[in-house]
């Protein structure tokens, strides 16, 4: 199935450039279609097409022109706003399918877009299909290993994130000594970990007890082809500043960007990075 012309529909962040490198390395012809207003990080200065959400129909034209039969969505397109005056007539016909989903959380809106692309006869695949090394197999990737208290904190955090997911909320939580120090909300992972460093960390009942874990997982029932959560070297540094013992991610559900550098930073800082199977310990 490799070799098929691929379109990378790109939003904000570092993930699109990672996938573009993987596509280039595999020799697959590809085009990058970037969402206007949500420009990707583009350190390699790759050529990109930019399309406006108000002119989504033009994206489909681009896919057909380039003979694209496979699409991967990557990067953040959070709560876009539409300018009614810019909406072209063909896109206007699509909006009744998408607009009702916008108020129902990011997942619902993305599912609607994926469905529209698939109706064009184009397959939607996940980042893992393009760059499998972004999704590490279960195991502990670092020299530091989680202990029994860390494993208990991971179980508690997984339970909390699953409950949050039922409300289409965040994908991360910090638990130490069985207690929830923080939950990821709109400001995101970095803001949450900074708050643990500055404020919440002082609430650990036993200052000499387990330092706690940052746990990240996709929402339950999330379409794993789109919008998987991701961590990277900066996440490791933020977790270290928060005084945590390590990071736990759900295997198959969280992307690790710059894996070598992420693991090296964790080893240098003494944190563990545990890729944990969804159902329990590895």
Q: Does 159 bind a copy of itself (CB under 8 A)?
A: yes
Q: Does 155 bind a copy of itself (CB under 8 A)?
A: no
- In the complex with a copy of itself, which residue's Cβ is closer, 127 or 248? 248
The conformation of residue 142, written as its DSSP 8-state character, comes to: S
- In the complex with a copy of itself, which residue's Cβ is closer, 40 or 160? 160
Q: Does 138 bind a copy of itself (CB under 8 A)?
A: no
| CA dihedral angle for residue 79, residue 80, residue 83, residue 88, rounded to 10 degrees | -120
Q: Does 2 bind a copy of itself (CB under 8 A)?
A: no
In the list 24, 163, 260, 268, the residue contacting a copy of itself (rule: CB under 8 A) is 163
Report the Cα 218 to chain-centroid distance in Å. 8
- What are the distances in angstroms from CA 261 to CA 169, 233, 237, 256, 264? 29, 6, 11, 10, 5
Helix or strand or coil: residue 61?
A: helix
Instruction: Scan residues 183-222 and list those touching a copy of itself (CB under 8 A).
Output: 183, 185-187, 191, 194-195, 199-200, 203, 205
Least distance in angstroms from the C-beta of 5 to a copy of itself = 35
Instruction: Mark residues 69-88: x for contact with a copy of itself by CB under 8 A, - for none.
Output: ----------x-x-------
- Tell me the C-alpha distance between 23 and 3, whole Å: 9
Stretch that binds a copy of itself, among 121-129, 167-175, 238-246, 256-264 (CB under 8 A): 167-175
Q: Which residues contact 1 (CB under 8 A, 6 or more apart)?
A: 70
- In the complex with a copy of itself, which residue's Cβ is closer, 24 or 203? 203
The conformation of residue 12, written as its DSSP 8-state character, comes to: B
Beta-bridge mates of residue 12:
76
Q: Does 223 bind a copy of itself (CB under 8 A)?
A: no
């Amino acid at each position: 199935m490799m070799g098929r012309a691929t379109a990378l529909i790109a939003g904000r962040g570092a993930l699109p450039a990672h996938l573009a490198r993987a596509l280039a390395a595999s020799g697959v012809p590809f085009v990058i279609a970037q969402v206007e207003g949500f420009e990707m990080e583009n350190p390699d200065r790759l050529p990109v097409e930019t399309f406006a959400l108000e002119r989504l129909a033009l994206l489909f034209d681009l896919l057909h022109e380039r003979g694209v039969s496979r699409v991967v969505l990557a990067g953040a397109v959070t709560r876009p706003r539409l300018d009614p005056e810019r909406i072209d007539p063909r896109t206007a016909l699509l909006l009744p399918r998408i607009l009702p989903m916008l108020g129902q959380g990011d997942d619902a809106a993305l599912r609607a877009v994926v469905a529209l692309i698939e109706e064009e006869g184009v397959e939607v695949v996940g980042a893992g299909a393009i760059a499998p090394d972004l999704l590490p197999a279960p195991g502990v990737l670092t020299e530091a290993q989680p202990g029994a208290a860390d494993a208990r904190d991971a179980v508690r955090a997984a339970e909390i994130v699953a409950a949050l997911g039922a409300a289409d909320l965040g994908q991360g939580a910090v638990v130490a000594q069985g207690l929830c120090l923080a939950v990821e909300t709109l400001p995101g992972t970095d803001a949450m970990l900074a708050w643990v460093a500055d404020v919440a960390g002082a609430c650990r009942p036993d200052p000499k007890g387990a330092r706690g874990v940052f746990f990240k997982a996709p929402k339950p029932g999330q379409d794993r082809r789109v919008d998987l959560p991701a961590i990277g070297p900066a996440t490791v540094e933020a977790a270290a500043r928060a005084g945590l013992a390590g990071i736990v991610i759900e295997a198959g559900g969280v992307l690790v960007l710059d894996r070598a550098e992420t693991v090296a930073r964790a080893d240098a800082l003494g944190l563990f990075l545990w890729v944990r199977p969804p159902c329990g310990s590895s």
